Amino acid sequence: MDCLDPVQKALLDDLDAGFAELYGAHRDVVFSTALRLSGRWADAEDLTAETFLRAYRALAGYDRERVAALRTRPWLLTILMNIWRNCARARSRKPPPDLREEPVDVVDAREGVEDAAVRRETGEELAGLLALLPDEQRAAVVLRHVADLPVSEIATMLRIPQGTVKSHVSRGLKRLRALGGAR
């Protein structure tokens, strides 16, 4: 147990305090991954909250060995991906909303007006382009380039071979470039 990261040590010492550290260490990557997968700020908030809720419930039932063996970031992103897939299945039964109607960012009081406008325009454009990708390509691109996960972890999370992950990322990026140039 000497090779445990600080979050795992905290989780083993005290679930509640350790969970606060887990949340602090991974909330940004979980939220930004959720935002790029869903394309909508409110949906990303819901996905993030549900991810951490399910993680807490799962941790409450884990024994010490299982907590010690956790790779917390990929584990949380796997939970997020499962929730997102379930939402996508439910959403497929309804017509999709127009993602360009709602902004994907919030105002930062420290940021200048011009910088905020550029960031918002870029974020909306990226969200719109990502929404045009098939779900499997969007997931692979976001996990690789937003969450910065290695191909092997993405393959494990998506339950597909590494070559398929590489293919999804490559095709997704190619399609994003083509779509971005067409606008």
> What percent of the chain is helix, strand and coil (3-state, nearest 5)?
80, 0, 20
Q: Is 85 found in the same domain as 15?
A: yes
Q: Is 170 found in the same domain as 83?
A: no
Q: Is 4 found in the same domain as 92?
A: yes
What's 168's domain CATH number?
1.10.10.10
Q: Is 25 found in the same domain as 65?
A: yes
Per-residue pLDDT in tens (0 to 9) along the chain, 183 residues: 567 889 999 999 999 999 999 999 999 999 999 999 988 889 999 999 999 999 999 999 999 999 999 999 999 999 999 999 898 888 777 765 565 555 554 555 555 555 555 445 556 777 788 888 998 999 999 999 888 899 999 999 888 999 999 999 999 999 988 887 765
- The pTM of the full predicted model, rounded to 2 decimals, is 0.75
Within-domain flag for 73: yes
What's 7's domain CATH number?
1.10.1740.10
Q: Is 77 found in the same domain as 119?
A: no
In the listed set 96, 122, 139, which residue is the last one of a domain according to the structure?
96
Residue matched to tokens 């919030």: 106
Angle between helices 151-158 and 72-91 (to 10 degrees): 50
Within-domain flag for 59: yes
Within-domain flag for 19: yes
Within-domain flag for 37: yes
Q: Is 124 found in the same domain as 91?
A: no
Within-domain flag for 9: yes
Q: Residue 66 corresponds to which tokens in the numbers above?
A: 């299982």
Within-domain flag for 6: yes
Instruction: Quote the number of domains for the chain.
Output: 2
Within-domain flag for 45: yes
Within-domain flag for 48: yes
Domain that holds residue 68: 1-96
Q: Provide the b/e sequence for 149-182 (b: ≥16 CB within 10 Å).
A: bebebbbbbbebeeeebeebbebbbebbeeeeee
Distances (CA, A) of 63 to 13, 16, 53, 75: 12, 15, 18, 16
